[in-house]
Amino acid sequence: MIDNVIHAALIMTTPVLLAALGGLINRVGGIVNIGLDSMMLAGALVAVIVAANHGNWALAVLAAGLAGACVAFLMTLTITRLDANEIIVGLGFNILIAGLVRFFLKSAYGTSGTLSLPDTTRIPRIDIPFVADIPVLGAIFSGHDVLTWLAWALVPVTAWFLARTRPGLRLRAAGAAPKAARALGLDPLSIRDASSVFAGFMAGLAGAYLSIGVVGIFNEGITAGRGFIAMAAFYFGANRPGLTAIGALLFGFFDAFQIRLQGRGLPAELVQTLPYIMVVVILTAIAIATRKSRGARP
Amino acid sequence: MRWAPSSATSRLFARLWLRRHRSGASGARQCLGILLAAILFGALATSGATIQLFSDVPIEIVNILQGLVMIFAVVRFSNLWKGRRA
């Protein structure tokens, strides 16, 4: 029972964590990426199509990342070069990609909403021989796929990148003080574009994880607002990768918990709202705590 | 139908409207802009099904149009030939 919840929690965390790390990099670079959800959706669709046609999951994951990066590139160009409002453009991309995906499914495959192709290759799970038999450790370390490992490995790597490397510091400069960065001879707009493309790539990977990692089919509602949950995660983390991961993990835990709670007498629709309600509750609690600690100081 | 984004878009349209018509009472102008935008999006949302009934145009076009309108309403194309700014 507890093993199942832990395992499911880690599975639910992975897509949110991947997208949140991308969004964090993007936010440090100066753009709040509302369009993460649309990039996840594009990645999920491309992953299923490539996995079914070529039978190579690595290629499918890569293609999904590239699809997300393409969407992000278009979005970032409108923001940095055409001076558009990032919030409105992000919302616009969410609606546009959702419409395009539905249009594409109907015109190319003749289905409405769900795409299930015959031999879709799934991302293989890595079972570690001896650890798998240990009760709790087995659930934590064994039976996850490459993307989960990648996501957790990227948490310290992102922290190190932002704190210790030259490109990381330049990225922070471009986000915090674009004029100072410009005076140093950097091009803040291009740095922002690069960070957005990275965010799109990560969101595409998250989408691939959802479609060919977890279920093996595509549905137009497959992201279920996880792009927005990822935003909540990196706001929760205040640009720190470790805290962002904890935020993603909290959402993953409640998501796994609500699956367990279903079918125990409570109405399923109400139980499904639990992770989203918890996000609101936690963000509110943090805001109150911050205000109190700020009020305590003179 | 998706109604939620329409209100955001209509506010946006109002701003766009304002940008065009700077002079005059801004409050009244904004109300007019919101009304026009709301009518546009309401017409888009309701006419989609009818158009699909009588032609081969699928109803998904409505979402695509809404997204495109939102994006193109906020971009400033004059930047393209003004050169790069800091």
- pLDDT of residue B5 exceeding 60: no
Mean pLDDT of chain B: 69
Dump the DSSP string for B13-75.
Answer: HHHHHHHH--SS-HHHHHHHHHHHHHHHHHHHHHHHHHHHHHSS--THHHHHHHHHHHHHHH-
Dump the DSSP string for A65-114.
Answer: HHHHHHHHHHHHHHHHTS---HHHHHHHHHHHHHHHHHHHIIIII--SSE
Using an 8 Å CB-CB cutoff, list chain A residues near B77.
82
Query: A270 near A283, Cβ under 8 Å?
Result: no
* pLDDT, one tens digit for every residue, chain A (298 residues): 778 888 888 888 999 999 999 999 999 988 888 999 999 999 999 999 998 888 888 889 999 999 999 999 999 999 888 888 888 889 889 989 999 998 888 888 888 878 887 777 787 787 777 777 777 777 777 778 888 889 999 999 999 998 898 988 888 888 888 888 888 888 888 899 999 999 999 999 999 999 988 888 888 888 888 889 898 888 888 888 888 898 888 888 888 888 888 777 778 788 888 888 888 888 888 888 888 887 765 4
At a CB cut-off of 8 Å and minimum separation 6, what does A165 contact?
A: none
A182 vs B58, B73, B86: nearest CB? B86
pLDDT for residue B86 = 43
B74 vs A81, A85, A99: nearest CB? A85
- pLDDT of residue B23 exceeding 50: no
At a CB cut-off of 8 Å and minimum separation 6, what does B56 contact?
A: none
Min distance A85 CA to chain B CA atoms (Å): 6
- pLDDT of residue B35 exceeding 80: yes
Using an 8 Å CB-CB cutoff, list chain A residues near B73.
88
Using an 8 Å CB-CB cutoff, list chain A residues near B76.
82-84
* Interface with B, mutate which of A82, A91, A95 (most B CBs under 10 A): A95
Query: pLDDT band for position B15 (50/70/90)?
Result: low
pLDDT above 70 coverage of chain B, percent: 58
Number of neighbouring beta carbons within 10 Å of residue B11: 15
CB contact (8 A) between residue A83 and residue B76: yes
CB contact (8 A) between residue B77 and residue A84: no
Is the pTM value of this prediction over 0.95? no
How far apart (Å, rounded) are the C-alpha atoms in residues A138 and A81? 49
Which tokens belong to A233? 């995660």
Using an 8 Å CB-CB cutoff, list chain A residues near B62.
99
Asked which of A27-36, A121-130, B14-23, B71-80 is least confident by mean pLDDT, the reply is B14-23
At a CB cut-off of 8 Å and minimum separation 6, what does A111 contact?
A: A105
b/e sequence A195-204, b meaning 16+ C-beta within 10 Å: bbbbbbbbbb
Helix A188-208 and helix A2-28: axis angle, to 10°? 160
Specify the length of chain A in residues: 298
B63 vs A81, A95, A178: nearest CB? A95
pLDDT for residue B1 = 37
A78 vs B9, B69, B71: nearest CB? B71
Which tokens belong to B69? 């309108």
Query: A218 near A67, Cβ under 8 Å?
Result: no
CB contact (8 A) between residue A103 and residue B68: no
pLDDT for residue A288 = 87
CB contact (8 A) between residue A96 and residue B64: yes
